[in-house]
Structure 1
Amino acid sequence: MWDRSGDKSFLEIFDIETGESKLLKEFDRVIEAPNWSADGKFLTYNSEGRIYKIEIATGAVAEVPSHFVDNCNNDHVLDPDGSGLYVSHHTREDGLSRIYKIFFDGRMPELITPLAPSYLHGITADGMTLAYCAERNGEYDVYTIPAVGGNEKQLTTAFGLNDGPEYDCDGEYIWFNSVRTGRMQAWRMRADGSEQTQMTFDAHWNTWFPHISPDRTKVVMLAYHERDVRPGEHVPNKNVELRLMTGNDETGWSQPRTILKLFGGQGTINVNSWAPDSKRFAFVRYAKK
């Protein structure tokens, strides 16, 4: 889709309390979309179709065995039980993205969504249900499915792209992004699809992938300036901003504020990368070689 052969990647950790970013590792190729493990010890990311894990304490990198699931994109989540990841893999028969589970112990991958394209973004804290963006009959909407596979359930019907769904830690709400009002904005709905509510109203920004922290008091998201992309575009190699909302339903939610400006976009923070302590999150920035 894009020629990114000239990109270098920098995997970093941002500390909410200090406002400082720490470089974990530099790569001479494109890596994308870090996930943070439930025990806080490692991150996973995708690169060149495969999934890798990196130990935070040592920087040691190891490939996660995935056998024929070798064309993964940047939409993946860790299973809370620590057994592996659910990934979005472009299958050989038609090149479309389907959700599989891959395992740290090397077991063969398991197909979850026979229908395609399906792009995974969320999982409930109990690991029982997945939330994903899928194109069905020409429209991209939010769907859920049992993590063991089965019948999918459509949650959104609004015209245009509805993307990036992820559960909060209580499984009460799904946060997502939608272009239904003309600009990409952050939204939230109950887990059954009811009470779909716009959460950001950025006049000059297209806001993507709202990631709710484990303590449910912070949401970090990626924003493109309106001059740089069309509302439905999520492209790489742009000057973007990471923005933060804080609050809760009792006190209300703040307006998003910019906490970091960087060269990034596609791959920077596609999936939830909050640390278990809700004080840090991982992201990727890029530079041209």
Structure 2
Amino acid sequence: MIRTLQPGQRCEVWIASVTGQAELLYSTDRVLFEAPNWTLSSKGSGDGGALVLNGDGKLWMLDVTGGHGGEPVEVPLSGVPDLNNDHVLDPDGKGIFVSANDGHIYRAALSGGPATMITEDDGSFHFLHGVSPDGAELAFVGIAAGDFSQPGKLMTIASDGGAAARVDVGPGHCDGPEYSPDGTWLYLNTESFSSVPGHAQLARIQIDGSGFEQLLESETVDWFPHPSPDGRYATYIQFPSGTEGHPADLPVAVVLVSTEDWTTPLHTWPLFGGQGTLNVNSWSPDSGRFAFVAYPRGDSFHDSAKD
């Protein structure tokens, strides 16, 4: 299903700094963009020049420096159905792995062209979230038979396809599995630590399936932990207590922490959003900034974001 903006609603793409500042990069009332990835470059030079987002079932590139008139430019993909907001960049800086609404994962070039299906018709939906630092493996959430009443399972697969393997993180629903910069851990959110429906908490597990641990215990519903490329910081999104899943159009907060202390926020950005705000890793290559999306109704995202 392709998401659209509600009457009177805007899509705002923001860039925040580890120092606590935030600036509005782009705003529109036409297309609902989601889930920014920060490229290694806009032209292959390694300078981190663009964001990659999905919107209207397509993939888009938004120049961070305001090029192309400040408007997103469509990445012309072929051979892939409408996209959802689960996409991650290939560590080679030239490709991207995407999840489509047919439940499969594909790989394509950031420059556009034909996409290649990676996952098999194994009876599951595959929701991509992580790629290993060497580009050899993907981490995704598998939903058997597309039955969303059942908990998602943490799965891995070779990035060129083949059989998927399960990583056991307990009976609760999990989401957002993402590799640490050194490739030794998978970070995720999971409901396995709580008996309260939907009470997702942040966790990590070593890639060999050992060392499963909760990163912090909170009253909020916490999703999508994203380590920075240098491993010093992480971002995640807080949903209100009692939230089930990661729905759209709620008062949420984007949180920045040190990976040495997940319990103490360094900065917090309250906003109206949720689904689409921070689904994938959006860190700049230098670990100094990250992007997120707000979906305000009426007034723009809080002025406090600029503080």
TM-score, length of structure 1 as denominator length: 0.90
> How do residues 11-30 of structure 1 correspond to structure 2 at under 5 angstroms?
11-17=13-19, 19-28=20-29, 29-30=31-32
Q: For residue 274 of structure 1, what is the aligned residue in structure 2?
A: 283
Q: For residue 250 of structure 2, what is the aligned residue in structure 1?
A: 238
Pick aligned residue for 1:172 from 172, 180, 184: 184
CA distance in 2, matches of 1:247, 1:282: 18
Aligned length: 275
Deviation at 1:105, TM superposition (A): 3.9
Residue 213 to residue 105, structure 1, CA distance change in 2 (3 Å)? closer
RMSD of aligned residue pairs (Cα, Å): 1.7
CA contact (8 A) 1:76 1:86 kept: yes
Pick aligned residue for 1:188 from 204, 214, 220: 204
CA offsets per residue over residues 199-246 of structure 1, 9 Å max, x none? 0100x200000111111111111001114x13xx10011000112221
CA contact (8 A) 1:64 1:103 kept: no
Deviation at 1:288, TM superposition (A): 2.5
% identity of equivalent residues: 35
CA distance in 1, matches of 2:214, 2:281: 19
Letter in structure 2 aligned against 1:174:
L
| 2:133 paired with 1:133 | no
| 2:118 paired with 1:142 | no
CA distance in 2, matches of 1:133, 1:216: 23
Pick aligned residue for 2:221 from 206, 220, 225: 206
Q: For residue 230 of structure 2, what is the aligned residue in structure 1?
A: 215
Q: For residue 159 of structure 1, what is the aligned residue in structure 2?
A: 171
Residue 26 to residue 100, structure 1, CA distance change in 2 (3 Å)? same
User: What secondary structure is seen at the aligned counterpart in 1 of 2:152?
Assistant: strand
CA distance in 2, matches of 1:154, 1:53: 33
TM-score, length of structure 2 as denominator length: 0.85
| 2:66 paired with 1:58 | yes
CA distance in 1, matches of 2:79, 2:116: 11
Q: For residue 94 of structure 1, what is the aligned residue in structure 2?
A: none
CA offsets per residue over residues 144-189 of structure 1, 9 Å max, x none? 1111111111002511211100001110111000001222100001
CA distance in 1, matches of 2:166, 2:180: 18
Pick aligned residue for 1:262 from 262, 271, 275: 271
Deviation at 1:70, TM superposition (A): 3.7
Deviation at 1:4, TM superposition (A): 3.7
CA distance in 1, matches of 2:169, 2:18: 35
Residue 254 to residue 79, structure 1, CA distance change in 2 (3 Å)? closer
User: What secondary structure is seen at the aligned counterpart in 2 of 1:201?
Assistant: coil
User: What secondary structure is seen at the aligned counterpart in 1 of 2:114?
Assistant: coil
| 2:226 paired with 1:224 | no
Pick aligned residue for 1:33 from 32, 35, 48: 35
| 2:293 paired with 1:284 | yes
Task: Could you tell me which runs of 5 or more consecutive residues in structure 2 were left unpaired when the two chains were aligned.
Answer: 41-45, 299-307
CA distance in 2, matches of 1:279, 1:108: 33
Letter in structure 1 aligned against 2:113:
R
Deviation at 1:58, TM superposition (A): 2.2
CA contact (8 A) 2:18 2:256 kept: no
List structure 1 segments (4+ residues) > 6 angstroms apart after TM superposition: none
Deviation at 1:194, TM superposition (A): 1.4
CA contact (8 A) 1:200 1:256 kept: no
Q: For residue 100 of structure 1, what is the aligned residue in structure 2?
A: 106
> Which structure features the higher share of strand residues?
1
Q: For residue 119 of structure 1, what is the aligned residue in structure 2?
A: 127
Residue 117 to residue 254, structure 1, CA distance change in 2 (3 Å)? closer
Task: Could you tell me which runs of 5 or more consecutive residues in structure 1 were left unpaired when the two chains were aligned.
Answer: 92-96
Q: For residue 43 of structure 1, what is the aligned residue in structure 2?
A: 51
